[in-house]
Amino acid sequence: ERRKREREMSAVLLLLASLLFQLVAAEVVSCPDQQSYCNCSSTASVCEFILRIEYRHTFTSYKLFGSNNQQSFDGEGYFLNRSGYIPTVQQDGDCNFDDPRTRPFTGSDFTRRGCSVPMTVDGVNYRAIIAINGQIPGPTLVVTSGQTVHIRVVNSLVSQSVSIHWHGLFQKDTPWMDGVGFVSHPPIDPGSSFDYIFTAGQSGTYWYHSHVGSERADGLFGGLVLRDPDTFFEQVVRPQILPEDSSSILVDSPELHTITVIDWMREHPNDMFVKMNDSLFFFPDAPVSTVPDRSNTPHEESDLIDGTGTSAVPYWSGLINGRGRFDSNTLAPLSVFSVESNRYYRFRLVGSNAMLAFNFSIDGHTLRAIASDGSYYQPRDVEYIVIHSGERYDFILNTTNPNRGQTNFWIRAETLVDTSPRQSVLAVLSYTNGNDLDWRNGYSNIPDARPTCTSASPCRVLNCPFQQYPAGSALTCISLMNLSSLFPPPTNKLPKFPPSSSCPDCIHFLNFGFDGPRDDSFINGKSLQLPNTAYATNCAQYTSSKSIINTCDRCTVNTTSGCRCIHVIPIANAATFDPNSDEHESIIMIFSSLNSPDTHPIHLHGHNFQILYTGYGTYDSNGKVTSPSTDLVCDTVGNNICVTPRWANGTPPAGLMARVSNGRVIGSAISKDTVMVPGYGYVVIALQADNPGYWFLHCHIEFHQALGMAAIVQEYDPLQHKAPPPNINNHGSFQWSVEEFKQFQDDGSTCADSIASTGGAPTTGGISLSQTKFGVMIGVIVLLFIVVVVMAIVSCAYFVYRRKVTTRHERFR
């Protein structure tokens, strides 16, 4: 009897202790080689991840080492042939199959033998890729809003530096954690590691990717999901997005239902970059920037549906979650997303596109679009969602239709290039866990079940990059301006339009395009040259006479060419930032694409912004764009280089003013962090300057950005920026703990403080941690821990005492 009670008591103690441990502890999240997600439990206060970045090769199985086969060993791999089998000559005791010529690789066969599953990628292309934890894309990181995230990025590349940008996260008070190489912090050298630590204060669908060169196009990216706290989602969000069916099951499994899509290149992106950057003439008499297409003839720029141009890079293939097929007849495994009947599923679509926009759809299903770039809007049922590089769309998929008639459906991402058939990336939605699918027969049992679009009942397309489809196409465009924010900001957070007249740098007209005789990649005739010191980590430069901040000031766009310079755009530079104020300086930016009919997805770091207005060019009766919007004009110099875009009549158009109420942007205007600027059109965005720092602003098309279509936004005077942590500028690894991070944040020094504390002497980093404060903090933590333990013991004792009393009562009864 007594032993039983003792056992019970120790069990209770154990349970309590483990609960407490979970509540206060950091969780080291398991991210083994090739697991497609890393999930941090919602009870942890800190989530720790390790991302290992290394070269891998397609069609290769790697021998895995380390505990639980978590790491690959460089240099020991086994090539497969293109049909997906290991050639006999390369069989080995570890990575062998029973009979490699008859067994397809399914995954489990490899991992059981301690070998990685070969990545076939597009089924044809033998080339090196940049893998994160053994795969492209990298694992989807799943955390809960409010958690502190500690991600150690280990650069195991031999010859490249990297950095990781957490796309869409504001990095408030941590601007040096934004991961733009040469802007936020120095890139991570080969062989070194870097500890990103920040608070995941937002919620929604985000992603991470390299921000050095064009590494993203090599596969260096992955999903990043910040879940809403459960109660907020259930009580506030769900009734708004599923109002008609409150009892049915809504499945939100970001680890299974996050979809990334990318157009994939035959050659290494550096190869393509060099061709474009040098405007190489590959063929006699070819126009500049001409590159060979797949039949080795000069690539002609092909037109989009609306007559606007596409990139100079020929389309090769595309991938959904790292898998695709070069041309439709290639045999290769595709990504399969499993669902069950009678559920609602939240899918998260990530635009990891390299160059081209995609039109996304799922055969036999309507998509209920509910959020973009981390902000909810009133749900809209659509058949298609257009997604460009950097954008994210969340949608609900309804699987309750009993008459669906088939078990597997095509998931499609098609480019907007005007070809027949369309350039198409495929994946599979399966109601059977993919059990009745066979990649070796090319999934021939999946019928075509595209949505039926008629003029009487046209299909709906969310986020067209043009005003409308040609007449007779039975497709209706839903502009982002037609969406209505689900949680409008309070009035004082709505940006003012026009912004304050006392703030000269609060409105900016920025034209994105390829101008001049060399077709250079410009913003207002300026092509970004990256600084050689990361601005966000170097307070000292502001006091140094040799400081280089905005070299474009010294450069005049002349008649023959633009400028290649460090293009800094100050916003709210003369204002004083008050962190305790509810309202901040309003900023308006007009992004245009006036000189060439190219669509550019523009991304601003450190913020999201409200979409105030979208303006389009002029279209002919066939739906082709013929001339730029007449709302704007641009003074050009030399060979058609646009340098000073502005309102044509000196005043904004009436359509824009209809979206302004009482001098502020209307609350229903949705918020995003990446927006498509239509060819020959423009977009007006608005935000409040509440985040001092250096923030990258750029076209998210990989090569447009790498070629210079980017600028550095300097928000407030740099002396008001948060000082960087010590040692962040050092060569070699930058490592620190969450405790050090929190202590550093509590100190809260600005660059001005930092410079004052060092007497104005130049330093390479920021300020150093206060040892005493650190000691006090450790003391407080230990004290708190003791209090918690004592409380646990007391409650246990009380529990046991109650049991004893009850038992005694029972005995007396």
Binding site for Cu ion (CB under 5 A): 600, 699, 701, 704
CB of 180 to Cu ion, least distance (A): 17
Provide long-range contacts, Cβ within 8 A and 24+ apart, for 31-35: 31/133, 31/139, 32/68, 32/69, 32/70, 32/133, 33/64, 33/69, 33/70, 33/71, 33/72, 33/116, 33/133, 33/134, 33/135, 34/111, 34/116, 34/117, 34/133, 34/134, 34/135, 35/133, 35/139
CB of 676 to Cu ion, least distance (A): 10
The whole-angstrom separation of Cα 698 and Cα 683 is 14
Closest to Cu ion by CB, 146 vs 309, is: 309
Question: Regarding beta strands 26-28 and 358-362, do their DSSP bridges make them parallel or antiparallel, or are they unpaired?
Answer: unpaired
Angle at 627 between CA 509 and CA 559, to 5 degrees: 55
CB of 58 to Cu ion, least distance (A): 28
- Which amino acid is present at 145? S
Closest to Cu ion by CB, 660 vs 701, is: 701
Closest to Cu ion by CB, 135 vs 674, is: 674
Closest to Cu ion by CB, 261 vs 699, is: 699
Closest to Cu ion by CB, 612 vs 701, is: 701
The whole-angstrom separation of Cα 679 and Cα 514 is 12
The whole-angstrom separation of Cα 242 and Cα 245 is 6
Closest to Cu ion by CB, 27 vs 702, is: 702
CB of 277 to Cu ion, least distance (A): 15
| Matching residue, tokens 């509810």 | 582
| Burial of 189 per CB tally in 10 Å (0-12, 13-18, 19+) | middle
The whole-angstrom separation of Cα 716 and Cα 542 is 13
CB of 681 to Cu ion, least distance (A): 13
Going from the C-alpha of 440 to that of each of 83, 91, 111, 123, 281, the distances in angstroms are 8, 21, 21, 12, 41
Closest to Cu ion by CB, 389 vs 423, is: 389
CB of 360 to Cu ion, least distance (A): 20
Closest to Cu ion by CB, 534 vs 675, is: 675
Relative orientation angle of helices 738-747 and 771-812, to the nearest 10 degrees: 120
Closest to Cu ion by CB, 676 vs 755, is: 676
**8 A C-beta contact, residue 45 and residue 99:** no
Closest to Cu ion by CB, 593 vs 729, is: 593
CB of 462 to Cu ion, least distance (A): 21
CB of 602 to Cu ion, least distance (A): 8
Other CB atoms within a 10 A radius of the CB of residue 264 amount to 23
Would you state the torsion angle of the CA atoms of residues 58, 59, 63, 66, taken in this order, to the nearest 10 degrees? 40
**8 A C-beta contact, residue 139 and residue 131:** no
CB of 311 to Cu ion, least distance (A): 8
CB of 672 to Cu ion, least distance (A): 16
| Matching residue, tokens 């070069």 | 326
CB of 522 to Cu ion, least distance (A): 10
The whole-angstrom separation of Cα 599 and Cα 466 is 9
Closest to Cu ion by CB, 186 vs 645, is: 645
Helix, strand, coil: what percent of the chain each, to 5?
Answer: 20, 30, 50
In sequence order, what are the residues at sequence separation of 6 or more whose Cβ sits closer than 8 angstroms to the Cβ of residue 43?
22, 23
Closest to Cu ion by CB, 536 vs 701, is: 701
Other CB atoms within a 10 A radius of the CB of residue 543 amount to 15
Question: Regarding beta strands 526-528 and 563-565, do their DSSP bridges make them parallel or antiparallel, or are they unpaired?
Answer: parallel
CB of 501 to Cu ion, least distance (A): 32
